């Protein structure tokens, strides 16, 4: 729960040339509040002895002077409230002041420039922008637009507004539940999934508002309007829903009938406006007083709708709009006094969380069934109906979960239904019997499988050993045969050597040399045979490998010798050296042309992003201006129909020519109200570069100049 007083701000209407110097002053040095001093000029008619109060000082959270822009007003006033609404709190922003002081301009905005957008369209843009950024929750947004005209409520989003008269439309009525929550009957909630849909609904409601021309304001709103944004959010998988709402209120301006001099229908409207504002002031005074037991909310429809906003579950902000002119000093002082009373109100904002109604219904239905089962168990009333297939499956799942749970303190809760209890006992008994039988089968099957596995493993091992033994026998036989051959050759060589040495001793040295020469071929023969033996021995491991044995050490050494003598060994070594070299030097030496192109690509990317964001903003601005244009067209058509009906009713047939002339003048005045600037040449207009678009712009400028020229000719 957040307890805080209502925040009060002041905004001084831009008066232009009518600004009166020395009537008011703003002091922002006092922190955290700002001070506004209104100075009452001395009237010479009161004489030299004048005991009237000459200055009034009021404190506000912040005071916006004449130069304050709409975006600054939004950032200071509406943005904090919108953030609280997104967090789940209720919020209200309402503007209060005399007629013509700028309430509608502050809340809704102006129709001339895109920068004149008010709090409502800027709040919609901010809220949907934040919803798009937050993907952790599922949001649903609805809007409603209520108009209180002559103490009767109407739905401004009702599609029958254009085709029906105001008296034929269904009226919005107030209904109150036992918890004193207000519900509005015949007020529609329109879903808005994006900013564009919400703005379309806003402009539709603005088009249907009651607006009239008074001596104080050319386009005075003759009704109170409440634009409400409803937001609901839910995290995926959570049963809690957050619901919040934001009231954006544009009150009709108070006016003194004696000063305005209105009559007829406008006088009736002024009476209802002043009466509802009087009841609002009564509620404010009652809330500001301590120990007040009764708050007169039910005196008017507006105070009933804003019950939560005034002293309830809401974060409320008030904007006091002032038109500080010498003629309006009394009304400005009255508005400031009203704002000071509002600043004394304390609200208690609560986070609006509730359980999902669908989950609540399921939970209550389950609780009812459990109570019925307990009642049947206590009274002894047996049920004869059989359990449904769904209930049986649910019981099977509960039993399976219970048996799998290793916690000794776990319980099996099936309620107080004896049918379910009996079924659980029977099912557990069947599972126990089935488990015993299956254990026996599994045990015997396991033993047989173990025996088969051991037998197969033994046979496989025996087969491998026999194969290895056969290989070793073959190798031994080959070695023995080779040794026998070499032994025989060596014996023959030795025998020849002994026979040669047993010859005549009388041989001379030449014979001895001949003997040595005869010995050399024999020794070479012996060495050759030894090499053959060695090579045959080296080939033996390959033979054993082909038969399934592992490569021996001798085979590995022979493979290394073969690899070194192979023709591709030099190429392999060169490739290895190239791979081992560090490529850092080559990477550091980049092509300057490639580097230049890369930088150019990066710059083009940045330029593209900047242009894309700019075009996106221009698209939003163009769409807003298109909506404003449609609004102006609709208002122009309605004004002409009203004027035409009035003139045809009171003009005779003889004055048709004057009527047409006056109709042209009236249409020209209406158009000029939206184009107040003097004619200018088309050369000063910035063009887009597109031939078709530039042609349309120049045609529009030319048509506008023709209309202005026609108007000046009439004058």
Binding residues for ATP: 97-104
Q: Residue 212 and residue 185: Cα distance in Å, rounded?
A: 28
Q: Residue 303 and residue 275: Cα distance in Å, rounded?
A: 12
What is the DSSP secondary-structure string of 204-273? Answer: HHHHTS-EE--SS-TTEE-SEEEEEEEEEEE-TT-SEEEEEEEEEEEPPPB--HHHH---THHHHHHHHH
Contact call for residues 71 and 122 (beta carbons, < 8 A): yes
- H/E stretch holding 330 reads helix 329-342
Binding region: 97-104
The C-alpha angle with vertex 623 and arms to 620 and 625, in degrees rounded to 5, equals: 110
Scanning the structure block, which residue is given the tokens 């042209």?
664
Q: Residue 173 and residue 166: Cα distance in Å, rounded?
A: 15
Handedness of CA 547, 550, 551, 552 (dihedral sign): negative
The C-alpha angle with vertex 560 and arms to 559 and 565, in degrees rounded to 5, equals: 95
Q: Residue 528 and residue 335: Cα distance in Å, rounded?
A: 128
Residue 368's contacts (CB-CB under 8 Å, 6 or more residues apart) are: none
C-alpha distance across the termini of the chain, in Å: 64
Pick from 246, 318, 250, 240: nearest CA to 83? 246
Pick from 252, 293, 200: nearest CA to 95? 252
The C-alpha angle with vertex 309 and arms to 125 and 4, in degrees rounded to 5, equals: 95
Q: Residue 340 and residue 288: Cα distance in Å, rounded?
A: 10
Pick from 152, 190, 205, 158: nearest CA to 174? 152
């Amino acid at each position: 729960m957040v307890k805080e007083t209502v925040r009060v701000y002041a905004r001084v209407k831009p008066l232009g040339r009518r600004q009166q110097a020395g009537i008011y002053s703003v002091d922002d040095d006092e922190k955290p509040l700002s001070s506004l001093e209104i100075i009452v000029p001395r009237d010479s008619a009161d004489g030299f002895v004048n005991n009237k109060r000459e200055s009034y000082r009021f404190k506000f959270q912040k005071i916006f002077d004449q130069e304050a822009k709409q975006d600054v007003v939004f950032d200071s006033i509406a943005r904090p409230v919108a953030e609280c609404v997104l967090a789940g709190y209720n919020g209200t922003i309402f503007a209060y002041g005399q007629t013509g002081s700028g309430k509608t301009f502050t809340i809704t905005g102006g129709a001339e420039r895109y920068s004149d957008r008010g709090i409502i369209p800027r709040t919609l843009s901010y809220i949907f922008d934040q919803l798009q950024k937050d993907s952790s929750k599922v949001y649903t947004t609805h809007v409603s637009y209520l108009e209180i005209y002559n103490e009767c409520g109407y739905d401004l989003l009702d599609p029958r507004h254009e085709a029906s008269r105001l008296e034929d439309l269904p009226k919005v009525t107030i209904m109150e539940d036992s918890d004193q929550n207000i519900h509005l009957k015949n007020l529609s909630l329109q879903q808005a999934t994006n900013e564009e849909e919400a703005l379309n609904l806003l402009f539709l409601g603005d088009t249907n508002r009651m607006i009239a021309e008074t001596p104080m304001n050319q386009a005075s709103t003759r009704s109170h309007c409440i634009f409400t944004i409803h937001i609901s959010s839910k995290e995926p998988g959570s049963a809690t829903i957050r619901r919040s709402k934001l009231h954006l209120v544009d009150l009709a301006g108070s006016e003194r009938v004696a000063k305005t001099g209105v009559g007829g229908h406008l006088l009736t409207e002024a009476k209802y406006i002043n009466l509802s504002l009087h009841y609002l002031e009564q509620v404010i005074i009652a809330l500001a007083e301590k120990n007040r037991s009764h708050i007169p909310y039910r005196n008017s429809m507006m105070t009933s709708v804003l019950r939560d906003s005034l002293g309830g579950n809401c974060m409320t902000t008030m904007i006091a709009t002032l038109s500080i002119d010498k003629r309006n000093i009394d009304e400005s002082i009255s508005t400031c006094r009203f704002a000071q009373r509002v600043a004394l109100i304390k609200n208690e904002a609560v986070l609006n969380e509730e359980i999902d109604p669908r989950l609540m219904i399921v939970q209550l239905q389950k609780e009812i069934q459990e109570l019925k089962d307990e009642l049947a168990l206590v009274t002894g009333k047996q049920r004869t109906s059989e359990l449904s297939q769904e209930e049986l499956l649910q019981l099977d799942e509960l039993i399976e979960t219970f048996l799998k749970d290793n916690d000794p303190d776990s319980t099996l809760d099936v309620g107080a239904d004896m049918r379910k209890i009996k079924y659980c006992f029977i099912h557990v008994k069947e599972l126990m019997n089935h488990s015993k039988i299956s254990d026996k089968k599994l045990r015997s099957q396991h033993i047989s499988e173990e025996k088969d596995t051991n037998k197969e493993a033994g046979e496989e091992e025996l087969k491998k050993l026999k194969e290895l033994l056969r290989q070793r026998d073959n190798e031994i036989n080959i070695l023995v045969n080779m040794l026998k051959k070499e032994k025989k050759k060596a014996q023959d060589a030795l025998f020849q050597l002994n026979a040669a040495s047993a010859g005549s001793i009388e041989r001379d040295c030449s014979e001895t040399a001949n003997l040595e020469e005869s010995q050399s071929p024999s020794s070479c023969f012996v060495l050759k045979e030894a090499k053959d033996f060695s090579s045959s021995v080296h080939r033996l491991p390959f033979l054993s490998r082909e038969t399934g044995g592992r490569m021996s050490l001798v085979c590995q050494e022979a493979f290394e010798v073969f690899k070194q003598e192979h023709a591709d060994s030099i190429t392999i070594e060169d490739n290895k050296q190239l791979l081992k070299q560090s490529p850092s030097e080559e990477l550091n030496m980049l092509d300057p042309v490639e580097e230049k192109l890369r930088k150019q690509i990066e710059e083009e990317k940045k330029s593209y992003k900047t242009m894309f964001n700019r075009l996106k903003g221009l698209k939003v601005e163009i769409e807003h201006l298109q909506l404003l244009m449609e609004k102006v067209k609709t208002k122009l058509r309605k004004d002409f129909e009203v004027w035409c009906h009035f003139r045809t009713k009171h003009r005779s047939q003889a004055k048709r020519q004057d009527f047409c002339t006056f109709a042209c003048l009236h249409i020209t005045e209406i158009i000029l109200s939206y184009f107040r600037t003097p004619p200018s040449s088309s050369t000063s207009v910035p063009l887009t570069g597109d031939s078709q678009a530039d042609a349309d712009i120049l045609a529009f400028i030319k048509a506008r100049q023709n209309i202005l020229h026609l108007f000046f000719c009439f004058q």
